[in-house]
Amino acid sequence: MTVVCIEVFKRYILNAPTAWIFDAANMMYGTLFMLCGAYTAGAKRTCSGRLPLQLDARRAWQAGLDLALYLIFFFSGIAALIYAGYDYAAISCASPNIPM
C-alpha cells in the first residue's frame, strides 16, 4: 500500500510518475496473495462451500458439493483467463522479432 501511495503522490502532486512502481506493486500484491493462500491452506483455515452444510450433511453430499463448486469456479476462471489472454498469445506467437 505504501508503494501505491508513493506512486499516487508522485503522479498527482509532484507530476513525476514512474514506470516501475506499477510493476513493483503488482509483484508485491501477487507475492502477498500467494503467501497468504499458502499459509491459510497450511493452517487448514480455508473457506469451503460446505459451510452451511456442516451441521447435518452426509460426507458424500459435502464431497459432491465441493466437486461441483470446484468445477464451476475453477474451470470458469481458467476459461476466462484463456479468453482474455488468447489475443495476446496469438500476437506474441506471430511476432517475427523474437530475440534469442
List, run by run, the mean pLDDT of 10-residue segments along the chain (100 residues).
88 89 87 85 66 61 79 89 90 72
Do residues 70 and 36 both lie within one domain?
Answer: no
Residue 66 pLDDT: 76
Do residues 34 and 69 both lie within one domain?
Answer: no
- The structural domain count of the chain equals 2
Do residues 35 and 5 both lie within one domain?
Answer: yes
Gap between the Cα atoms of 6 and 25, Å rounded? 11
Torsion of CA 18, 23, 26, 31, to 10 degrees: -120
Gap between the Cα atoms of 71 and 26, Å rounded? 28
Of 14, 29, 46, which marks where a domain is finished? Answer: 46
Do residues 5 and 42 both lie within one domain?
Answer: yes
Do residues 57 and 27 both lie within one domain?
Answer: no
Gap between the Cα atoms of 73 and 75, Å rounded? 6
DSSP-derived 3-state class of residue 65: helix
Query: With contact defined as beta carbons under 8 Å apart, do 34 and 12 qualify?
Result: no
Rg (CA), the chain: 21
Name the residue range of residue 87's domain. 53-100
Residue 48 pLDDT: 58
Q: What DSSP state is assigned to residue 48? A: -
Residue 12 pLDDT: 92
Measured in degrees and rounded to the nearest 5, phi and psi for residue 20 equal -95, -20
- pTM higher than 0.85: no
Do residues 62 and 39 both lie within one domain?
Answer: no
Residue 83 pLDDT: 94
- Amino acid letter for position 87: D
Do residues 14 and 29 both lie within one domain?
Answer: yes
